[in-house]
Structure 1
Amino acid sequence: MKLKNVFALSTIVSAALLATPVLSQEQPGLDSRTNAKMLLENITPEKASTEELKALIEKALPQYDESLLKPYAGRDPISALSFSRLANALQDKISLEAPEEVTDIDDGIRALSIDTEKSKIGYVNRDRSWNFDKDANTRAIPADQAQKQVLSILNDLGFDSREMAKPFITKQMAAGAKAGEDKPSRTMEVYRYVIVPRSLNGLPVSQSDVRVAINNYGEVQRISAEWPQLTLREGQRLRDREEVINDLLLEVSEQDPTEAIHFIGNIQYAQQIDGDQIGPVLVLNVNDYPTPYQVAVPLAEQATGDERI
Protein backbone atom coordinates (compact mmCIF):
# COMPACT_ATOMS: atom_id res chain seq x y z
CA MET A 1 0.00 0.00 0.00
CA LYS A 2 1.50 3.32 -1.02
CA LEU A 3 1.79 6.11 1.51
CA LYS A 4 -0.25 8.58 -0.53
CA ASN A 5 -3.24 6.31 0.08
CA VAL A 6 -2.58 6.10 3.80
CA PHE A 7 -1.43 9.41 5.29
CA ALA A 8 -2.40 13.03 4.76
CA LEU A 9 0.94 14.82 4.38
CA SER A 10 1.83 18.34 3.32
CA THR A 11 3.78 18.73 0.08
CA ILE A 12 5.79 21.62 1.48
CA VAL A 13 7.90 22.01 4.58
CA SER A 14 5.46 23.23 7.20
CA ALA A 15 6.00 25.99 9.71
CA ALA A 16 6.13 23.29 12.35
CA LEU A 17 9.55 22.32 11.07
CA LEU A 18 10.76 25.87 11.70
CA ALA A 19 9.76 25.86 15.34
CA THR A 20 9.71 22.24 16.50
CA PRO A 21 12.70 20.03 17.35
CA VAL A 22 12.83 17.12 14.90
CA LEU A 23 14.79 13.94 14.47
CA SER A 24 16.51 14.83 11.21
CA GLN A 25 19.57 14.10 9.15
CA GLU A 26 20.96 15.65 5.97
CA GLN A 27 23.95 15.57 3.64
CA PRO A 28 25.38 18.14 1.21
CA GLY A 29 23.93 18.33 -2.26
CA LEU A 30 22.35 20.64 -4.80
CA ASP A 31 21.48 24.10 -3.46
CA SER A 32 18.76 26.35 -4.90
CA ARG A 33 21.23 28.77 -6.53
CA THR A 34 23.04 25.96 -8.35
CA ASN A 35 19.72 24.47 -9.41
CA ALA A 36 18.57 27.81 -10.85
CA LYS A 37 21.85 28.25 -12.75
CA MET A 38 21.55 24.77 -14.24
CA LEU A 39 18.01 25.52 -15.39
CA LEU A 40 19.04 28.80 -17.00
CA GLU A 41 21.99 27.20 -18.78
CA ASN A 42 19.97 24.11 -19.72
CA ILE A 43 22.41 21.79 -17.96
CA THR A 44 21.03 18.39 -16.99
CA PRO A 45 22.96 16.38 -14.36
CA GLU A 46 23.75 12.73 -14.91
CA LYS A 47 21.30 10.17 -13.57
CA ALA A 48 22.06 8.74 -10.14
CA SER A 49 22.59 5.01 -9.75
CA THR A 50 20.49 2.86 -7.44
CA GLU A 51 23.53 2.17 -5.26
CA GLU A 52 24.29 5.87 -4.88
CA LEU A 53 20.69 6.68 -4.02
CA LYS A 54 20.42 3.97 -1.40
CA ALA A 55 23.64 5.08 0.29
CA LEU A 56 22.43 8.69 0.42
CA ILE A 57 19.02 7.69 1.78
CA GLU A 58 20.62 5.55 4.48
CA LYS A 59 22.77 8.50 5.49
CA ALA A 60 19.78 10.86 5.58
CA LEU A 61 17.68 8.66 7.87
CA PRO A 62 17.73 9.77 11.52
CA GLN A 63 17.99 7.26 14.34
CA TYR A 64 14.79 6.38 16.22
CA ASP A 65 13.43 3.78 18.62
CA GLU A 66 10.25 2.33 20.14
CA SER A 67 9.60 5.52 22.11
CA LEU A 68 7.86 6.79 18.95
CA LEU A 69 5.05 4.34 19.69
CA LYS A 70 4.31 5.31 23.28
CA PRO A 71 0.48 5.25 23.53
CA TYR A 72 -1.24 8.60 23.82
CA ALA A 73 -4.86 9.73 24.01
CA GLY A 74 -5.44 13.46 23.61
CA ARG A 75 -8.59 15.50 23.85
CA ASP A 76 -10.63 17.21 21.15
CA PRO A 77 -11.06 20.90 22.09
CA ILE A 78 -12.81 21.94 18.89
CA SER A 79 -15.75 19.57 19.41
CA ALA A 80 -16.65 21.45 22.60
CA LEU A 81 -16.55 24.97 21.10
CA SER A 82 -19.46 27.28 20.33
CA PHE A 83 -19.44 30.52 18.35
CA SER A 84 -19.98 32.58 21.49
CA ARG A 85 -17.16 30.84 23.36
CA LEU A 86 -14.78 31.36 20.45
CA ALA A 87 -15.70 35.05 20.19
CA ASN A 88 -15.42 35.59 23.95
CA ALA A 89 -11.93 34.08 24.06
CA LEU A 90 -10.91 36.62 21.40
CA GLN A 91 -12.38 39.54 23.39
CA ASP A 92 -15.24 39.83 20.92
CA LYS A 93 -18.92 38.95 20.83
CA ILE A 94 -21.35 37.57 18.30
CA SER A 95 -25.08 38.23 18.53
CA LEU A 96 -26.24 35.82 15.84
CA GLU A 97 -27.89 32.60 16.95
CA ALA A 98 -27.15 29.46 14.94
CA PRO A 99 -28.32 25.84 15.13
CA GLU A 100 -25.75 23.17 15.98
CA GLU A 101 -25.38 21.95 12.39
CA VAL A 102 -24.24 25.40 11.17
CA THR A 103 -20.46 25.65 10.73
CA ASP A 104 -20.08 29.27 9.52
CA ILE A 105 -21.64 32.58 10.57
CA ASP A 106 -20.99 36.15 9.42
CA ASP A 107 -22.60 39.31 10.81
CA GLY A 108 -20.91 41.65 8.33
CA ILE A 109 -18.08 42.61 10.70
CA ARG A 110 -16.85 39.29 11.98
CA ALA A 111 -16.91 35.82 10.44
CA LEU A 112 -16.52 32.65 12.49
CA SER A 113 -16.16 29.02 11.48
CA ILE A 114 -16.22 25.86 13.60
CA ASP A 115 -15.96 22.59 11.67
CA THR A 116 -15.93 19.73 14.16
CA GLU A 117 -15.67 17.06 11.44
CA LYS A 118 -12.46 18.54 10.03
CA SER A 119 -11.27 19.80 13.44
CA LYS A 120 -10.87 23.36 12.14
CA ILE A 121 -11.79 26.80 13.43
CA GLY A 122 -11.52 30.23 11.84
CA TYR A 123 -12.22 33.83 12.78
CA VAL A 124 -11.74 37.24 11.19
CA ASN A 125 -12.83 40.68 12.38
CA ARG A 126 -12.93 43.25 9.58
CA ASP A 127 -13.06 46.20 12.00
CA ARG A 128 -9.71 45.09 13.42
CA SER A 129 -7.99 45.10 10.03
CA TRP A 130 -4.98 47.34 9.38
CA ASN A 131 -5.83 50.67 7.78
CA PHE A 132 -3.18 52.89 6.22
CA ASP A 133 -4.74 56.21 7.22
CA LYS A 134 -5.21 55.16 10.82
CA ASP A 135 -2.42 52.66 11.45
CA ALA A 136 0.57 53.57 9.27
CA ASN A 137 2.51 55.05 12.19
CA THR A 138 1.71 52.29 14.69
CA ARG A 139 3.97 49.37 15.59
CA ALA A 140 3.38 45.68 16.21
CA ILE A 141 3.04 44.61 19.82
CA PRO A 142 6.11 42.98 21.44
CA ALA A 143 6.73 39.33 20.57
CA ASP A 144 6.61 38.13 24.19
CA GLN A 145 3.28 39.89 24.72
CA ALA A 146 1.86 38.27 21.58
CA GLN A 147 3.03 34.82 22.64
CA LYS A 148 1.54 35.18 26.12
CA GLN A 149 -1.75 36.42 24.65
CA VAL A 150 -2.06 33.57 22.14
CA LEU A 151 -1.23 30.85 24.68
CA SER A 152 -3.81 32.33 27.06
CA ILE A 153 -6.45 32.25 24.30
CA LEU A 154 -5.68 28.62 23.49
CA ASN A 155 -5.92 27.72 27.16
CA ASP A 156 -9.34 29.41 27.34
CA LEU A 157 -10.44 27.39 24.30
CA GLY A 158 -9.36 24.09 25.89
CA PHE A 159 -6.25 23.34 23.83
CA ASP A 160 -3.75 21.04 25.58
CA SER A 161 -0.42 22.78 26.22
CA ARG A 162 1.37 19.39 26.12
CA GLU A 163 0.68 19.29 22.37
CA MET A 164 2.06 22.76 21.65
CA ALA A 165 5.57 23.30 20.32
CA LYS A 166 7.47 26.55 20.77
CA PRO A 167 5.59 29.35 18.96
CA PHE A 168 7.08 30.90 15.84
CA ILE A 169 6.61 34.68 15.96
CA THR A 170 7.13 37.21 13.19
CA LYS A 171 5.62 40.39 11.72
CA GLN A 172 3.52 41.06 8.66
CA MET A 173 5.00 44.10 6.95
CA ALA A 174 3.92 46.55 4.26
CA ALA A 175 6.03 48.91 2.16
CA GLY A 176 5.27 52.05 0.20
CA ALA A 177 7.09 54.20 -2.33
CA LYS A 178 6.51 57.67 -3.69
CA ALA A 179 5.26 58.05 -7.23
CA GLY A 180 8.07 57.51 -9.72
CA GLU A 181 10.40 55.80 -7.23
CA ASP A 182 11.53 52.20 -7.71
CA LYS A 183 12.52 51.43 -4.14
CA PRO A 184 10.23 51.54 -1.10
CA SER A 185 10.72 54.69 0.94
CA ARG A 186 8.75 53.45 3.92
CA THR A 187 8.05 50.18 5.70
CA MET A 188 5.12 49.66 8.05
CA GLU A 189 4.30 47.01 10.63
CA VAL A 190 0.86 45.57 9.95
CA TYR A 191 0.33 42.60 12.28
CA ARG A 192 2.20 40.51 14.80
CA TYR A 193 1.91 36.96 13.47
CA VAL A 194 2.09 33.91 15.75
CA ILE A 195 2.19 30.26 14.69
CA VAL A 196 1.80 27.56 17.33
CA PRO A 197 2.92 24.23 15.80
CA ARG A 198 1.55 20.90 17.03
CA SER A 199 3.91 18.36 18.54
CA LEU A 200 3.88 14.99 20.29
CA ASN A 201 6.85 13.33 22.01
CA GLY A 202 8.92 16.32 20.87
CA LEU A 203 8.17 15.70 17.18
CA PRO A 204 5.98 17.67 14.75
CA VAL A 205 2.44 16.63 13.94
CA SER A 206 1.89 17.08 10.22
CA GLN A 207 -0.67 19.65 9.05
CA SER A 208 -1.77 20.74 12.51
CA ASP A 209 -1.17 24.19 13.97
CA VAL A 210 -2.73 27.47 15.10
CA ARG A 211 -2.09 30.76 13.27
CA VAL A 212 -2.98 34.12 14.77
CA ALA A 213 -2.66 37.70 13.49
CA ILE A 214 -2.76 40.40 16.18
CA ASN A 215 -3.18 44.03 15.19
CA ASN A 216 -1.10 46.86 16.59
CA TYR A 217 -3.66 47.51 19.34
CA GLY A 218 -3.34 44.00 20.75
CA GLU A 219 -6.59 42.70 19.22
CA VAL A 220 -6.84 39.36 17.39
CA GLN A 221 -7.73 40.23 13.81
CA ARG A 222 -7.84 36.64 12.56
CA ILE A 223 -7.16 33.12 13.73
CA SER A 224 -7.16 29.74 12.05
CA ALA A 225 -6.53 26.35 13.60
CA GLU A 226 -6.45 22.75 12.45
CA TRP A 227 -6.25 20.62 15.59
CA PRO A 228 -7.64 17.06 15.34
CA GLN A 229 -7.70 14.82 18.38
CA LEU A 230 -4.46 12.84 18.70
CA THR A 231 -4.68 9.13 19.43
CA LEU A 232 -1.68 6.81 19.35
CA ARG A 233 -2.92 3.34 20.25
CA GLU A 234 -1.12 0.26 21.47
CA GLY A 235 -0.53 -2.60 19.07
CA GLN A 236 1.93 -0.95 16.68
CA ARG A 237 5.53 -1.95 16.03
CA LEU A 238 8.37 -0.36 14.12
CA ARG A 239 8.93 -1.60 10.60
CA ASP A 240 12.29 -3.01 9.62
CA ARG A 241 14.67 -0.14 8.80
CA GLU A 242 15.80 -1.81 5.57
CA GLU A 243 12.18 -2.05 4.45
CA VAL A 244 11.70 1.68 5.09
CA ILE A 245 14.83 2.49 3.07
CA ASN A 246 13.67 0.32 0.17
CA ASP A 247 10.26 2.03 0.14
CA LEU A 248 11.93 5.45 -0.01
CA LEU A 249 14.29 4.23 -2.72
CA LEU A 250 11.36 3.02 -4.81
CA GLU A 251 9.54 6.35 -4.51
CA VAL A 252 12.64 8.42 -5.34
CA SER A 253 13.63 6.17 -8.25
CA GLU A 254 10.31 6.91 -9.95
CA GLN A 255 11.23 10.63 -10.12
CA ASP A 256 14.28 10.29 -12.44
CA PRO A 257 16.84 11.23 -9.75
CA THR A 258 20.14 12.86 -10.74
CA GLU A 259 23.63 12.92 -9.24
CA ALA A 260 22.85 16.39 -7.87
CA ILE A 261 20.24 15.00 -5.47
CA HIS A 262 20.16 16.14 -1.83
CA PHE A 263 18.14 14.57 1.02
CA ILE A 264 16.96 15.83 4.41
CA GLY A 265 15.13 13.21 6.46
CA ASN A 266 12.94 13.93 9.49
CA ILE A 267 10.29 12.15 11.52
CA GLN A 268 6.76 13.44 12.06
CA TYR A 269 3.43 12.11 13.21
CA ALA A 270 0.69 12.04 10.58
CA GLN A 271 -3.04 11.58 10.85
CA GLN A 272 -4.39 8.62 8.92
CA ILE A 273 -6.84 9.42 6.15
CA ASP A 274 -9.03 6.38 6.83
CA GLY A 275 -8.78 6.19 10.59
CA ASP A 276 -8.90 8.05 13.87
CA GLN A 277 -5.31 7.68 15.04
CA ILE A 278 -1.84 8.90 14.14
CA GLY A 279 1.41 7.13 13.37
CA PRO A 280 5.09 8.05 12.91
CA VAL A 281 6.30 8.65 9.36
CA LEU A 282 9.67 9.32 7.79
CA VAL A 283 9.51 12.44 5.61
CA LEU A 284 12.30 12.73 3.06
CA ASN A 285 12.73 16.23 1.65
CA VAL A 286 14.36 15.85 -1.76
CA ASN A 287 16.20 18.68 -3.50
CA ASP A 288 16.95 17.60 -7.04
CA TYR A 289 17.01 18.95 -10.56
CA PRO A 290 14.70 20.48 -11.68
CA THR A 291 12.13 20.57 -8.82
CA PRO A 292 12.28 19.71 -5.09
CA TYR A 293 9.65 17.41 -3.61
CA GLN A 294 8.79 15.28 -0.58
CA VAL A 295 8.47 11.54 -0.08
CA ALA A 296 7.03 9.95 3.05
CA VAL A 297 6.63 6.39 4.28
CA PRO A 298 5.19 4.94 7.51
CA LEU A 299 7.62 3.80 10.19
CA ALA A 300 5.15 1.54 12.00
CA GLU A 301 2.76 -1.30 11.25
CA GLN A 302 0.18 -3.30 13.15
CA ALA A 303 1.75 -5.79 15.52
CA THR A 304 -0.48 -8.53 14.11
CA GLY A 305 -1.11 -9.12 10.41
CA ASP A 306 0.61 -7.59 7.42
CA GLU A 307 -1.57 -4.52 6.91
CA ARG A 308 0.35 -1.30 7.58
CA ILE A 309 -1.19 1.54 9.51
Structure 2
Amino acid sequence: MALPAPDTRPDDALLLDAYSATVADAVDRIGPAVCRIERIAPAASARQAGGQGSGFVISPDGLIVTNSHVVGDARAVRVAMPDGSSCEGRVLGSDPDTDIALVRADGAFTDIAPLGDSKLLRRGQITIAIGNPLGFEWTVTAGVVSAIGRSMRAATGRLIDDVIQTDAPLNPGNSGGPLVSSGGEVIGVNTAMIRGAQGIAFAVASNTTNFVISEIIRFGRVRRAFIGVSADTVALPRRAALLAQVSSRSAVRLRSVEPEGPAAQAGLKEGDIIAAMDGHAITGVDDLVRLLDAGRIGRETACKVLRRTGVSQITVMPTARNG
Protein backbone atom coordinates (compact mmCIF):
# COMPACT_ATOMS: atom_id res chain seq x y z
CA MET A 1 0.00 0.00 0.00
CA ALA A 2 1.45 3.34 -1.08
CA LEU A 3 1.95 5.97 1.59
CA PRO A 4 0.40 9.41 1.00
CA ALA A 5 2.76 11.97 -0.42
CA PRO A 6 4.14 14.36 2.18
CA ASP A 7 2.69 17.85 2.21
CA THR A 8 5.37 20.03 0.65
CA ARG A 9 3.60 23.35 0.99
CA PRO A 10 5.39 26.11 2.94
CA ASP A 11 4.68 26.31 6.66
CA ASP A 12 2.87 29.65 6.16
CA ALA A 13 0.40 28.02 3.78
CA LEU A 14 -0.32 25.25 6.28
CA LEU A 15 -0.92 27.79 9.02
CA LEU A 16 -3.28 29.81 6.81
CA ASP A 17 -5.24 26.67 5.97
CA ALA A 18 -5.53 25.83 9.68
CA TYR A 19 -6.66 29.39 10.44
CA SER A 20 -9.23 29.29 7.63
CA ALA A 21 -10.58 25.95 8.81
CA THR A 22 -10.88 27.24 12.39
CA VAL A 23 -12.83 30.33 11.32
CA ALA A 24 -15.04 28.38 8.91
CA ASP A 25 -15.87 25.74 11.55
CA ALA A 26 -16.87 28.41 14.08
CA VAL A 27 -19.04 30.14 11.49
CA ASP A 28 -20.72 26.84 10.57
CA ARG A 29 -21.63 26.34 14.24
CA ILE A 30 -22.88 29.84 15.05
CA GLY A 31 -23.91 31.31 11.68
CA PRO A 32 -27.30 29.54 11.40
CA ALA A 33 -28.37 31.07 14.73
CA VAL A 34 -27.62 34.67 13.65
CA CYS A 35 -30.65 36.68 12.58
CA ARG A 36 -31.59 40.05 11.17
CA ILE A 37 -33.67 42.24 13.50
CA GLU A 38 -36.04 44.91 12.16
CA ARG A 39 -38.22 47.15 14.29
CA ILE A 40 -41.97 47.06 13.74
CA ALA A 41 -43.75 50.36 14.17
CA PRO A 42 -46.59 50.30 16.73
CA ALA A 43 -49.12 51.65 14.21
CA ALA A 44 -50.25 49.40 11.35
CA SER A 45 -47.28 47.09 11.93
CA ALA A 46 -45.19 49.01 9.41
CA ARG A 47 -41.43 48.67 9.58
CA GLN A 48 -39.56 51.63 10.94
CA ALA A 49 -36.89 52.98 8.68
CA GLY A 50 -33.39 52.59 10.05
CA GLY A 51 -34.38 50.22 12.84
CA GLN A 52 -32.31 47.28 11.71
CA GLY A 53 -29.46 45.25 13.11
CA SER A 54 -28.38 41.75 14.04
CA GLY A 55 -29.12 39.28 16.82
CA PHE A 56 -28.59 35.64 17.71
CA VAL A 57 -30.72 32.83 19.14
CA ILE A 58 -29.63 31.52 22.55
CA SER A 59 -32.41 29.03 23.35
CA PRO A 60 -34.71 26.62 21.47
CA ASP A 61 -37.79 28.53 22.63
CA GLY A 62 -36.75 31.64 20.72
CA LEU A 63 -34.80 33.86 23.14
CA ILE A 64 -32.72 36.24 21.04
CA VAL A 65 -29.99 38.64 22.18
CA THR A 66 -29.44 41.92 20.37
CA ASN A 67 -28.50 45.54 21.16
CA SER A 68 -30.74 47.93 23.02
CA HIS A 69 -30.18 50.57 20.34
CA VAL A 70 -31.29 48.10 17.65
CA VAL A 71 -34.77 47.60 19.17
CA GLY A 72 -35.04 51.19 20.42
CA ASP A 73 -38.50 51.85 21.89
CA ALA A 74 -40.15 49.17 19.76
CA ARG A 75 -42.19 46.49 21.50
CA ALA A 76 -42.19 44.18 18.48
CA VAL A 77 -39.57 43.23 15.89
CA ARG A 78 -39.36 41.08 12.80
CA VAL A 79 -36.77 38.31 12.94
CA ALA A 80 -35.27 36.94 9.70
CA MET A 81 -33.16 33.79 9.76
CA PRO A 82 -30.45 32.67 7.30
CA ASP A 83 -32.69 29.87 5.95
CA GLY A 84 -35.15 32.46 4.64
CA SER A 85 -37.77 32.03 7.37
CA SER A 86 -39.05 35.00 9.34
CA CYS A 87 -41.34 35.62 12.28
CA GLU A 88 -42.34 38.30 14.74
CA GLY A 89 -40.86 38.68 18.18
CA ARG A 90 -41.65 40.79 21.24
CA VAL A 91 -39.08 42.73 23.20
CA LEU A 92 -38.91 41.27 26.71
CA GLY A 93 -36.60 43.93 28.04
CA SER A 94 -33.90 46.40 27.10
CA ASP A 95 -30.97 47.75 29.10
CA PRO A 96 -29.51 50.90 27.53
CA ASP A 97 -26.77 51.03 30.19
CA THR A 98 -25.15 47.92 28.67
CA ASP A 99 -26.77 48.19 25.20
CA ILE A 100 -28.27 44.70 25.58
CA ALA A 101 -31.86 43.71 24.75
CA LEU A 102 -33.72 40.41 24.89
CA VAL A 103 -36.36 39.34 22.37
CA ARG A 104 -38.73 36.36 22.38
CA ALA A 105 -39.41 35.14 18.84
CA ASP A 106 -42.37 32.97 17.84
CA GLY A 107 -41.63 29.33 17.03
CA ALA A 108 -39.06 26.67 17.86
CA PHE A 109 -35.38 26.95 16.92
CA THR A 110 -32.83 24.19 16.42
CA ASP A 111 -29.75 26.34 15.78
CA ILE A 112 -28.42 27.89 18.99
CA ALA A 113 -25.48 30.20 19.68
CA PRO A 114 -24.17 29.36 23.19
CA LEU A 115 -22.72 32.08 25.38
CA GLY A 116 -19.16 31.33 26.47
CA ASP A 117 -17.11 32.52 29.44
CA SER A 118 -15.53 35.86 28.55
CA LYS A 119 -13.32 35.66 31.64
CA LEU A 120 -11.20 33.09 29.77
CA LEU A 121 -10.35 35.52 26.96
CA ARG A 122 -6.76 36.45 26.18
CA ARG A 123 -5.40 39.29 24.08
CA GLY A 124 -4.51 38.03 20.63
CA GLN A 125 -7.21 35.35 20.60
CA ILE A 126 -9.11 34.94 17.32
CA THR A 127 -12.46 36.74 17.12
CA ILE A 128 -15.14 36.33 14.47
CA ALA A 129 -17.99 38.81 13.95
CA ILE A 130 -21.17 37.65 12.21
CA GLY A 131 -23.98 40.00 11.25
CA ASN A 132 -25.67 42.12 8.62
CA PRO A 133 -23.38 45.13 8.02
CA LEU A 134 -24.77 47.80 5.70
CA GLY A 135 -27.56 45.44 4.65
CA PHE A 136 -25.22 42.69 3.41
CA GLU A 137 -26.78 39.70 5.14
CA TRP A 138 -24.82 37.22 7.27
CA THR A 139 -21.38 38.62 6.61
CA VAL A 140 -18.32 37.26 8.42
CA THR A 141 -15.24 39.24 9.48
CA ALA A 142 -12.34 38.08 11.63
CA GLY A 143 -9.67 39.58 13.82
CA VAL A 144 -8.26 39.24 17.31
CA VAL A 145 -9.03 40.37 20.85
CA SER A 146 -7.19 43.68 21.07
CA ALA A 147 -7.99 44.36 24.73
CA ILE A 148 -10.33 43.17 27.47
CA GLY A 149 -12.06 44.87 30.40
CA ARG A 150 -12.47 48.17 28.56
CA SER A 151 -15.13 50.79 29.32
CA MET A 152 -17.12 52.78 26.76
CA ARG A 153 -19.92 55.30 27.02
CA ALA A 154 -23.47 54.11 26.34
CA ALA A 155 -26.18 56.18 24.68
CA THR A 156 -27.46 56.98 28.19
CA GLY A 157 -24.17 58.71 28.96
CA ARG A 158 -23.14 56.04 31.47
CA LEU A 159 -20.08 53.88 31.03
CA ILE A 160 -20.48 50.28 29.87
CA ASP A 161 -17.92 48.20 31.74
CA ASP A 162 -16.46 44.81 30.75
CA VAL A 163 -16.16 45.64 27.05
CA ILE A 164 -14.02 43.69 24.58
CA GLN A 165 -11.98 45.66 22.06
CA THR A 166 -11.42 43.85 18.77
CA ASP A 167 -10.05 44.63 15.32
CA ALA A 168 -12.66 42.43 13.58
CA PRO A 169 -14.22 44.96 11.16
CA LEU A 170 -17.72 46.13 12.14
CA ASN A 171 -20.14 48.36 10.26
CA PRO A 172 -23.67 49.65 10.91
CA GLY A 173 -25.94 46.60 10.90
CA ASN A 174 -23.42 44.41 12.75
CA SER A 175 -24.85 45.78 16.00
CA GLY A 176 -26.35 43.04 18.15
CA GLY A 177 -24.59 40.24 16.31
CA PRO A 178 -22.27 37.78 18.04
CA LEU A 179 -18.53 38.07 18.50
CA VAL A 180 -17.43 34.45 18.34
CA SER A 181 -14.37 32.59 19.60
CA SER A 182 -12.45 30.05 17.54
CA GLY A 183 -14.14 27.39 19.67
CA GLY A 184 -17.57 28.37 18.37
CA GLU A 185 -18.90 30.16 21.46
CA VAL A 186 -20.27 33.69 21.71
CA ILE A 187 -17.82 35.77 23.74
CA GLY A 188 -19.45 39.15 23.18
CA VAL A 189 -22.26 41.13 21.59
CA ASN A 190 -21.04 43.56 18.91
CA THR A 191 -22.11 47.04 19.88
CA ALA A 192 -20.02 49.81 18.34
CA MET A 193 -17.21 50.89 16.11
CA ILE A 194 -15.30 54.16 16.11
CA ARG A 195 -15.95 56.07 12.90
CA GLY A 196 -12.75 57.16 11.16
CA ALA A 197 -10.61 54.72 13.13
CA GLN A 198 -9.57 51.48 11.49
CA GLY A 199 -9.34 48.35 13.61
CA ILE A 200 -11.17 49.64 16.70
CA ALA A 201 -14.51 48.04 17.52
CA PHE A 202 -16.25 46.96 20.71
CA ALA A 203 -18.44 44.16 22.04
CA VAL A 204 -20.17 43.76 25.40
CA ALA A 205 -18.60 40.70 27.06
CA SER A 206 -20.66 37.52 27.30
CA ASN A 207 -20.50 37.36 31.11
CA THR A 208 -22.09 40.79 31.44
CA THR A 209 -24.60 39.81 28.76
CA ASN A 210 -25.52 36.72 30.78
CA PHE A 211 -26.13 38.84 33.87
CA VAL A 212 -28.37 41.28 31.96
CA ILE A 213 -30.35 38.43 30.35
CA SER A 214 -31.01 36.76 33.70
CA GLU A 215 -32.20 40.06 35.22
CA ILE A 216 -34.55 40.74 32.30
CA ILE A 217 -35.99 37.21 32.47
CA ARG A 218 -36.60 37.47 36.22
CA PHE A 219 -37.64 41.10 36.63
CA GLY A 220 -38.19 42.57 33.16
CA ARG A 221 -35.38 45.05 33.78
CA VAL A 222 -31.89 45.22 35.27
CA ARG A 223 -31.76 46.23 38.93
CA ARG A 224 -28.46 47.74 40.02
CA ALA A 225 -26.61 49.14 42.96
CA PHE A 226 -24.54 52.23 42.17
CA ILE A 227 -21.21 53.34 43.61
CA GLY A 228 -20.13 55.83 40.94
CA VAL A 229 -17.00 54.36 39.37
CA SER A 230 -15.69 53.15 36.03
CA ALA A 231 -13.03 50.47 36.03
CA ASP A 232 -10.69 48.31 33.95
CA THR A 233 -9.59 44.71 34.42
CA VAL A 234 -5.87 44.56 35.25
CA ALA A 235 -3.32 41.88 36.08
CA LEU A 236 -2.70 41.38 39.80
CA PRO A 237 0.97 40.68 40.60
CA ARG A 238 1.54 37.67 42.85
CA ARG A 239 3.01 39.81 45.60
CA ALA A 240 -0.06 42.07 45.58
CA ALA A 241 -2.37 39.04 45.64
CA LEU A 242 -0.56 37.63 48.65
CA LEU A 243 -0.76 41.01 50.35
CA ALA A 244 -4.51 41.17 49.74
CA GLN A 245 -4.90 37.49 50.71
CA VAL A 246 -6.60 36.52 47.46
CA SER A 247 -5.64 33.78 45.01
CA SER A 248 -6.77 35.56 41.82
CA ARG A 249 -4.37 36.82 39.17
CA SER A 250 -6.44 39.84 38.17
CA ALA A 251 -8.50 42.59 39.78
CA VAL A 252 -10.09 45.92 38.78
CA ARG A 253 -8.47 49.33 38.78
CA LEU A 254 -10.70 52.39 39.13
CA ARG A 255 -10.38 54.54 36.04
CA SER A 256 -12.59 57.30 37.41
CA VAL A 257 -14.61 58.06 40.54
CA GLU A 258 -17.67 60.31 40.32
CA PRO A 259 -17.47 63.32 42.65
CA GLU A 260 -19.97 63.06 45.51
CA GLY A 261 -20.83 59.46 44.52
CA PRO A 262 -20.89 56.65 47.10
CA ALA A 263 -17.35 55.52 46.22
CA ALA A 264 -15.92 59.04 46.52
CA GLN A 265 -17.73 59.62 49.81
CA ALA A 266 -16.24 56.38 51.14
CA GLY A 267 -12.73 57.49 50.20
CA LEU A 268 -12.11 55.45 47.04
CA LYS A 269 -9.85 57.18 44.52
CA GLU A 270 -8.88 56.93 40.88
CA GLY A 271 -6.15 54.29 40.51
CA ASP A 272 -7.30 52.20 43.48
CA ILE A 273 -7.32 48.46 42.83
CA ILE A 274 -10.29 46.53 44.23
CA ALA A 275 -9.33 42.90 44.83
CA ALA A 276 -12.40 41.75 46.79
CA MET A 277 -15.87 42.85 47.80
CA ASP A 278 -17.56 41.42 50.89
CA GLY A 279 -15.13 38.50 50.77
CA HIS A 280 -15.77 37.75 47.08
CA ALA A 281 -12.75 38.02 44.78
CA ILE A 282 -13.07 40.71 42.11
CA THR A 283 -11.12 39.21 39.22
CA GLY A 284 -12.58 41.42 36.51
CA VAL A 285 -15.07 44.13 35.71
CA ASP A 286 -17.76 41.50 35.13
CA ASP A 287 -17.47 40.46 38.80
CA LEU A 288 -17.95 44.08 39.87
CA VAL A 289 -21.05 44.41 37.64
CA ARG A 290 -22.49 41.12 38.91
CA LEU A 291 -21.92 41.84 42.61
CA LEU A 292 -23.44 45.31 42.46
CA ASP A 293 -26.96 43.93 42.20
CA ALA A 294 -30.12 45.23 43.84
CA GLY A 295 -29.36 43.29 47.03
CA ARG A 296 -26.51 45.68 47.87
CA ILE A 297 -28.56 48.86 47.66
CA GLY A 298 -28.35 50.62 51.02
CA ARG A 299 -26.16 47.87 52.46
CA GLU A 300 -22.63 48.46 53.74
CA THR A 301 -20.21 46.76 51.37
CA ALA A 302 -16.59 46.12 52.34
CA CYS A 303 -14.00 46.58 49.60
CA LYS A 304 -10.45 45.29 49.87
CA VAL A 305 -8.38 48.00 48.19
CA LEU A 306 -4.74 47.92 47.10
CA ARG A 307 -2.70 51.12 47.07
CA ARG A 308 0.98 51.90 47.03
CA THR A 309 0.73 52.38 50.75
CA GLY A 310 -0.65 48.87 51.27
CA VAL A 311 -4.02 47.18 51.69
CA SER A 312 -7.05 49.07 52.99
CA GLN A 313 -10.56 47.98 53.92
CA ILE A 314 -13.02 50.60 52.70
CA THR A 315 -16.75 50.40 53.34
CA VAL A 316 -19.05 51.74 50.62
CA MET A 317 -22.81 52.28 50.84
CA PRO A 318 -24.25 51.65 47.33
CA THR A 319 -27.35 53.56 46.30
CA ALA A 320 -30.07 52.65 43.79
CA ARG A 321 -29.11 53.28 40.20
CA ASN A 322 -32.00 55.17 38.65
CA GLY A 323 -32.93 55.32 34.98
Which structure's CA Rg is the greater one? 1
**TM-score, normalization: structure 2?**
0.23
The answer to which structure has the higher strand fraction is 2
**TM-score, normalization: structure 1?**
0.24
